[in-house]
Chain A
Amino acid sequence: MTEENAQIVVHGVSQVYRPPAGREVLALSDVSLEVQGREFIALLGPSGCGKSTLLYLIGGFLPTQQGSIRVDGKPVSGPGPDRGIVFQDFALFPWKTVRANVLYGLERMDLSRHERERRAQSFIDMVGLGGFEDSYPSQLSGGMKQRAAIARTLAIDPTILLMDEPFGALDSQTRRLMQSELLSIWQRTPKTVIFVTHDVQEAVFLAGRVAVMSARPGCIKAIVETQFDKADPHLLKSPDFVNKVDEIWNLVRDEAIVAQTARHP
């Protein structure tokens, strides 16, 4: 993989948080990562290792302090609808109903009213929130909020999807459904997905590559190929798959231990 044909190129990125009070935190240290167009890559790593921070940088929400991030050859200079993000804390507009939340991005696109409504409804139905179109976020459960946020981001049909633990608040049944919906969207429409999760099995199942990050300050510790036939109904029980999950789980666990000892020396 060379720099020229990768869609997202993260090169030597470090990020320091300087809170107005308290000490500085080095969140990312010399992170380099290349993501091809149409690739589905999962990001794993212990809590606090900088996964969200990396997504914010690629999304253009935080300015790059050190190193460079290029998307489609251009340096990232701010957020844009080409890179849709699903935030870890959902970040819905609490004063808007579910429908209005999903419509917000669509209203900024060149679509007829009818088309907007149709698209909003289809994504609301897809995430299983039909019947809750007129509810406000404060009236939804955590998992429902999360699904609303996913619908809102998918609706604007971004070419790059940055998803920060998007299924974290879901029960395993809903999670399975959402996983296959995401996969089918990814297979139907050309999309590059960076998918943060703590669930190793989910990462191996969804992604073609899994990047494991080290404990804070985060860098890319290993990248593992995880190409499997996702249509295989027995995939999750196949030995190859199970071994792969095991291999990656060991990598993640080592880093989690490092993170743990860093907190309690």
Chain B
Amino acid sequence: MARRDNGVTTPEQPPGGRSAGLRMVRQTLRTAAYGLPVVALLIAWETFARSGAVTMFILPPASAVAERIWADAAAGDLWRNILTTMYRAFSGFLLGSLIGVAIGIGISRNALARWFFDPIISIGFPMPKVAFLPVIILWLGVFDVSKIAMVTIEVLFPVVTATVIGLQGVNRSVIWSARNLGASQRQLLWHVMIPAAFPQIFTGIQVALPIALIVAVFTEMAMGGYGLGASMMSASRLADSRGVFAGIVAIALVGYCVVKLMGLLRRRVLIWHAEAVMPSTV
């Protein structure tokens, strides 16, 4: 759903030199303030690790971990691992989102689908789906397919739930308007129900995104086969504590970027939504 964003009619005053400079200073300060707690945490980590209270093996200093990440990046290992994990996380994420939206639409429109899926979703949602990992390994092996399947299953639940809630919440008179203007049942779904529920559906998909990353890393830890999770486990087995911490930091960075990008995408896609102009932290 590409939205044109050039349609905002309120003509903005062209920023004058002085106020534009001010705004830039303010923006920089705000960004700095946002990053400050993270910087403080890094400094605390560095000082504590070097204070001698713990050995470098228990907690390598932040600078050493950063060096290690840099070296891994230069050698190409880091990128290979990130790409592998992302491939698994995103495949499962896309698959789970698509199937989840489809099931959600089914539940809210078809009595048979509702009868079938409703209890399964209700029972399955609070369950730790990773408990099925041994079964998945038995059925699908330990390669990409089983990891992607695990991610897909975990992603399904929040997306289904958000879709059902979103479709249920569509304003009655908006639906009536469309019917009044001549929309058929089919057009009602595609032209009205889904766009109207889209903010909710998108929220479900946003919630599912970090879950996808978490599950991808977890399955890699459990089954091996490259990726960030697997590389951390092998570093741990080799007592390579810097490698383990480098993995944690890399996951954090990747997760942060991906979630931020998703927030940006939301603001682009939901340009019509009143919330689009509000700053978002997700």
Q: List 19 A-B contacts (CB under 8 A).
A: A61-B176, A79-B180, A80-B182, A87-B173, A87-B177, A89-B173, A94-B272, A95-B195, A95-B196, A95-B272, A95-B273, A96-B272, A104-B181, A104-B183, A105-B180, A105-B181, A108-B182, A137-B272, A138-B274
Instruction: Supply 17 further A-B pairs (C-beta < 8 A) apart from A85-B180, A87-B173, A105-B180.
Output: A56-B176, A59-B176, A80-B180, A83-B180, A85-B177, A87-B177, A89-B171, A89-B173, A91-B174, A93-B178, A95-B198, A95-B272, A95-B273, A104-B181, A104-B183, A108-B187, A134-B6
Closest to A56 in B: B176
**Main DSSP-derived SS at the A contact region:** loop
**Contacting pair A109 B177 (CB below 8 A):** no
* Contact A134/B9 with A59-B180, A85-B180 known, Cβ cut-off 8 Å: yes
**Contacting pair B174 A93 (CB below 8 A):** yes
**Contacting pair B274 A81 (CB below 8 A):** no
**Contacting pair A138 B180 (CB below 8 A):** no
A134 to B4, CA, bound (A): 9
Name the distance in Å between B273's Cβ and chain A's nearest Cβ.
Answer: 7
Interface centre among A61, A95, A109, A136 (most CB of B within 10 A): A95
B195 proximity list for chain A (CB < 8 A): 93, 95
Interface 1/0 per residue, A93-133 and B, CB below 8 Å = 11111000000110011000000000000000000000110
Name the distance in Å between A102's Cβ and chain B's nearest Cβ.
Answer: 10
A59 to B179, CA, bound (A): 10
Interface 1/0 per residue, A49-89 and B, CB below 8 Å = 00000001001010000000000000000111101110101
A156 proximity list for chain B (CB < 8 A): 181-182
The residue from B7, B179, B182 contacting A97, defined by CB atoms under 8 A apart: B7
Name the distance in Å between B256's Cβ and chain A's nearest Cβ.
Answer: 29
Name the distance in Å between A225's Cβ and chain B's nearest Cβ.
Answer: 30
Name the distance in Å between A239's Cβ and chain B's nearest Cβ.
Answer: 41
A251 to B118, CA, bound (A): 53
A135 to B6, CA, bound (A): 10
A85 to B198, CA, bound (A): 25
**Contacting pair B183 A135 (CB below 8 A):** no
**Contacting pair A135 B273 (CB below 8 A):** no
In residues 168-218 of chain B, which contact A (Cβ within 8 Å)?
171, 173-174, 176-183, 187, 191-192, 195-196, 198
Closest to B6 in A: A134
**Contacting pair B177 A91 (CB below 8 A):** yes
**Contacting pair B7 A134 (CB below 8 A):** yes
Q: Does A147 contact B (CB under 8 A)?
A: no
B272 proximity list for chain A (CB < 8 A): 94-97, 136-138
The residue from A91, A96, A132, A152 contacting B9, defined by CB atoms under 8 A apart: A132
Q: Does B138 contact A (CB under 8 A)?
A: no
A80 proximity list for chain B (CB < 8 A): 180, 182
Give the A interface residue count (CB, 8 A). 34
**Contacting pair B173 A108 (CB below 8 A):** no
B4 proximity list for chain A (CB < 8 A): 134
Name the distance in Å between B166's Cβ and chain A's nearest Cβ.
Answer: 13
B192 proximity list for chain A (CB < 8 A): 93
**Contacting pair B8 A135 (CB below 8 A):** yes
Q: Does A174 contact B (CB under 8 A)?
A: no
Q: Does A139 contact B (CB under 8 A)?
A: yes
B181 proximity list for chain A (CB < 8 A): 81, 104-105, 108, 152, 156
A78 proximity list for chain B (CB < 8 A): 179
**Contacting pair A139 B196 (CB below 8 A):** no
A134 to B187, CA, bound (A): 23
A61 to B171, CA, bound (A): 13
**Contacting pair A139 B182 (CB below 8 A):** no
Closest to B10 in A: A139
Nearest 5 interchain pairs by C-beta: A134-B7, A105-B181, A108-B182, A91-B173, A138-B274
A153 to B179, CA, bound (A): 12
A92 to B176, CA, bound (A): 11
**Contacting pair B176 A91 (CB below 8 A):** yes
Name the distance in Å between A194's Cβ and chain B's nearest Cβ.
Answer: 14
**Contacting pair B173 A139 (CB below 8 A):** no
**Contacting pair A61 B198 (CB below 8 A):** no
A91 to B187, CA, bound (A): 17
A61 to B181, CA, bound (A): 12
**Contacting pair A135 B7 (CB below 8 A):** yes
A39 to B10, CA, bound (A): 41
B179 proximity list for chain A (CB < 8 A): 61, 78-79
A136 proximity list for chain B (CB < 8 A): 7, 271-272
A20 to B125, CA, bound (A): 26
B196 proximity list for chain A (CB < 8 A): 93-95
**Contacting pair A94 B173 (CB below 8 A):** no
